[in-house]
Amino acid sequence: MKPRTDLVIYKPKPGHEKELEALVIGHWPAIKATGLVTDEAARVWRATEKSRDPQKQEPPYFIEIFTWKDEKGPEVAHQTPAVMAVWEPMGAHLADLRIMRIDEVG
């Protein structure tokens, strides 16, 4: 099977940015230790929405891109206690979570 690259957007609940950021930073080491991802390290960014209204300041998002070795990686990760130890606590700090499979074009 071919590798699968995911783009994940984590939107924290207001006031939960630091807790979520720590979990997102700990995500890569947890999934890397399982052997389910490629050797190319995940990349993580903090992103803020551009707003025309300076009074409307949204909390930052965290964006992560990484590559599973194959399509079964996420399924196996859901059965791995070390990964679930990172994923489960995220729920308390997330306002929204988007997971997108991305494929290079061209």
How confident is the model at residue 49, as a pLDDT?
83
User: What tokens appear for 9 in the block?
Assistant: 């957007």
**pLDDT means over runs of 10, the chain (106 residues):** 95 95 96 96 92 75 97 94 94 97 92
What does the pLDDT read at residue 41?
A: 96
Range of the domain at 29: 4-102
- pTM comes to 0.90
Sign of CA dihedral 20, 22, 28, 32: negative
Task: Report the CATH number that the domain containing residue 61 is assigned in CATH.
Answer: 3.30.70.100
Rounded CA gap, 82 and 34, in Å? 8
Per-residue pLDDT, 50: 79
Looking at the structure of the chain, the number of domains it has is 1
For 44, the 3-state DSSP assignment is strand
